[in-house]
Structure formats: C-alpha cells, structure tokens
Amino acid sequence: MNYKQLLALFKETHLELQKRAARSVDTSLVIRNWFFGWYIVEFEQGGAERAELYGKSLIIRLSRELKTLGLKGVSSTSLKQCRTFYLAYKKIGQTLSDQSSGECSGLQEIQQTLSVTSFDAIANAPEMLQELSATLAGRFSLGWSHYVTLLTISNVDERRFYEIEARENGWGVRELDRQISASLYERLALSRDKEGIRQLAQKGLVIEKVSDVIKNPFVLEFLDLEEKSAYSEHALETAIIERLEHFLLELGKGFLFEARQKRFTFDNDHFYVDLVFYNRLLRCYVLIDLKRDKLTHQDLGQMQMYVNYFDRYVKTEDELPTIGILLCHRKHDALVELTLPKDSNIFASKYLLYLPSKEELKMQLEEAAGITHRENIDQADMDNVR
C-alpha cells in the first residue's frame, strides 16, 4: 500500500462510518417519534379524568413544556405527526411479510408486550424501553422524512408498497414523493389481478416475468416537454437520453442502458432501434421504440422484426427472449390484441408528459380489479390529527 492508497482508505472509512452514523441518528428519531405517538395515544385513552383535564389542548401543552426541557422536533405539528405515525404503524408485527422468522418473532413479542404493558409501567422500566428500541430498530429502515411522506397515503396496502420500494431501491424523499405523485402503485396494479395487487403490497415490485416490467402508462413528466404535437420522436428520444437516470428509475428494477439508435443490417438494408436496454433480473434484452403519434399495425410488425432479429442473432442461448415495448402517445388496445399473438413478448404502453390524476387511476383500478381499498386506520381518528 502506497501513501495515496492510505489516504484513500482513511477517506473511504470516514465517509462510510459517517453515513452509518447519520442513518443511526435518523433511525433513532423514527423510533423516538413512534414512542411519542404511543405515549400520546395511551394517555388520551387513559380515562375520562385525563380526557376532561387535557382534551384537545394536550398536544399544545406537551409541545410548550417539552420545548422548555430542551427537546427538538416537538412542535404541535410534529407531535400530531408522531400520533398519526403510531396509529399507522401500531400493528408493527404485521406490517411487512418479507422479514425473517427471527425478526417477525421479535416484532410479535413487542406487540404482545405493548398489549399488556401500560405506558405508566414502561415509564418506570428503562430496561424495557431499551429492549423495545433495539427491536424496533430492525423494523424501521427509512428516515423520518420518508415516513412523513408515507403518512400522506391513507391506503395501507399502497403505503406498504412504497415503503418496501423506497427501502429496496434507496429512494431519497424527493424520489419517493415523485413516485407517489406519478401513481406508480396504481399503474402497476392496473395490469394485475387481485392476487398480483396483494403481492405488490406484501413484497413490492418483484421482477419474475415479462409483464412485471410493463407499466401503462409510463410517466415522463421529468422530461419537461410540453404536451403538444410540434416536437418529433427524435426530440423525445434526445430528452430521454439527457435524463437517462430518471428514465431508468421510471422503467423500474434491473434495467441497464446499452445503446441509442442501435443499427443492424440484413439484405443491405439498415434498421435502427430507438433505445436498447438489458434487464439483469429477467436476463433479456428490452427494445424500446418511440411513437409520437397513434400506434399502427405497421409499428407492431416492425417491432416484431426487431425482436426476432435480437432473438436469432444477438442474445445467447442462456438468455431469455427479447422484450419489445412501443411507447406511444395514442394506442388502441383492440388493434394491439388483434395484431399480436397472445404469447407475444411485445407490449404497447402510452406515455404521459404530465403527472396522472391519482383519482382517475384509482377509479380505473377499482373497476378493473373489482376491489375496494381497505382503510385500516380509523379515518375519523386520522382527521382529528391533521
């Protein structure tokens, strides 16, 4: 090891431990606020005497007196968020199904402990507080700002999905907010049956088959293109390349960019695929063609040719068949269904240059899947703390 390598090692170690320290501090804040919410709810439910004595002024009085004790993050608004947070996550032993049996066991023990322990008792048992805090640290994996954003989602399944995706993909708060605004959950759910929607809530987006990477629509609002007919397919492609990182996030898990305007030739004719990606989870090529106007059967036939070429001359024997995606401004589902065979690996999806209406997508979801969203949090209770 030379001196420069030694310096680099010092720097790398410092930065890594600095990140861990920051994550530790943020996790501690999440746990603290969960306890704060529990204390408030327990106190409010502690009998008529307490309710009559404090009523709606409890949080205001708590905030004022906690500030005099030097505590930070205890404004009335923050304490209301703590209360909402606890109400949303009080069944912590049942919130995620993808944890190890040991973790689930520990979380269930916490739930059982809380069910038989008053907060008056825990106030006199600091060792119990330490035990519960240590186990809760394994449950909450995001920062407090993430949970504040998640609390804007009233549907439990939808909130659980975004929590899993934010954790597994390392989303910052801004990206989490963008995915919620872009209605990722509803867009994925629209292409799934009831069981598929349940899987989204329990495991997040799991890439196991071709249809798992398809969204309808794809949302490209980050391109900052106006909704007009003046720009060309080339302009759309250029905008995507300039914001490739955002486009990869919109595509989803496992995508790697390979080429733009990928050329292949046969019989002295040249053909160009707009965008070529590779999905390492499905282990296959993904070809994307951009269509500024209405999708035609000629477009579908052309994509079929591109897919056939990659399957016969590009992919290796151990790779799965190539996927073709046509991103279009307008499409007719009947035309797509009539043109393509049922087992086709070619898909047509609309793209939007603006954030979709969540209300409209939710209505489509409920109509298509025949479901009614479950509200596991007492709505009246939630309204009281907003």
pLDDT (tens digit, 9 = 90+) per residue, 322-367?
A: 999 999 888 877 888 888 888 889 999 888 888 777 777 777 666 6
Specify whether 255 is located in the same domain as 149: no
- Residue 232's pLDDT is 82
Please choose, from the candidates 309, 300, 234, the residue with its C-alpha nearest in 3D space to the C-alpha of residue 265: 309
Specify whether 382 is located in the same domain as 291: no
Q: Rounded to an integer, what distance in angstroms lies between the CA atom of residue 81 and that of residue 72?
A: 14
- Residue 98's pLDDT is 39
Q: How confident is the model at residue 144 (pLDDT cuts 50, 70, 90)?
A: very high
Specify whether 10 is located in the same domain as 138: yes
- Residue 123's pLDDT is 59
Specify whether 349 is located in the same domain as 386: no
Specify whether 60 is located in the same domain as 133: yes
- Residue 339's pLDDT is 84
CA gyration radius for the chain?
A: 26
- The runs of H, that is alpha helices, within 213-317 are 233-242, 244-251, 297-313
Specify whether 109 is located in the same domain as 36: yes
318 or 115, which is more confident: 318
Residue 256 φ then ψ, to 5°: -125, 135
What's the domain range around 282?
218-355
Specify whether 192 is located in the same domain as 309: no
Q: Is 80 exceeded by the pLDDT of residue 120?
A: no
The domain boundary, picked from 91, 125, 143, lies at 143
The stretch 303-322 carries a mean pLDDT of 94
Q: How confident is the model at residue 310 (pLDDT cuts 50, 70, 90)?
A: very high
Cβ-in-10-Å burial (0-12, 13-18, 19+) of 88 comes to buried
Specify whether 171 is located in the same domain as 274: no
- The runs of H, that is alpha helices, within the chain are 3-44, 48-54, 58-68, 76-89, 101-116, 119-123, 126-136, 144-150, 156-169, 173-181, 184-189, 194-203, 233-242, 244-251, 297-313, 333-339, 358-369, 379-385
Please choose, from the candidates 258, 31, 269, 234, the residue with its C-alpha nearest in 3D space to the C-alpha of residue 131: 31
Around 74, how many Cα atoms within 13 Å sit in the side-chain half-sphere?
19
Average pLDDT of the chain, as a whole number: 78
Q: Is 60 exceeded by the pLDDT of residue 48?
A: no
- Residue 368's pLDDT is 57
Please choose, from the candidates 250, 259, 264, 160, the residue with its C-alpha nearest in 3D space to the C-alpha of residue 213: 250
pLDDT (tens digit, 9 = 90+) per residue, 159-190?
A: 999 999 998 888 989 999 989 988 888 888 77
Q: How confident is the model at residue 102 (pLDDT cuts 50, 70, 90)?
A: very low
CATH number for the domain that contains residue 339? 3.40.1350.10
- CB-CB contact of 92 with 37 (8 Å): no
The domain boundary, picked from 113, 143, 173, lies at 143
The first and second tokens of residue 274, run together, are 């707009």
pLDDT > 70 in the chain, percent: 75
Specify whether 331 is located in the same domain as 223: yes
Domain count, the chain: 3
- Residue 163's pLDDT is 92
Specify whether 243 is located in the same domain as 154: no
Q: Rounded to an integer, what distance in angstroms lies between the CA atom of residue 200 and that of residue 102?
A: 23
- Cα separation values, 210 from 19, 136, 215, Å: 36, 37, 11
Specify whether 94 is located in the same domain as 39: yes
Please choose, from the candidates 352, 377, 209, the residue with its C-alpha nearest in 3D space to the C-alpha of residue 281: 209
Secondary structure element (H or E) that encloses residue 276, with its range: strand 269-279
The first and second tokens of residue 145, run together, are 């700002």
- Residue 293's pLDDT is 78
Q: Are strands 346-352 and 323-330 parallel, antiparallel or unpaired?
A: parallel
Q: Rounded to an integer, what distance in angstroms lies between the CA atom of residue 295 and that of residue 335?
A: 9
pLDDT (tens digit, 9 = 90+) per residue, 31-44?
A: 888 888 888 888 77
pLDDT (tens digit, 9 = 90+) per residue, 271-303?
A: 999 999 999 999 999 999 998 878 888 999 999
The first and second tokens of residue 158, run together, are 């939808």
Secondary structure element (H or E) that encloses residue 261, with its range: strand 255-266
The domain boundary, picked from 121, 143, 165, lies at 143
Residue with tokens 């190539």: 322
Specify whether 38 is located in the same domain as 118: yes
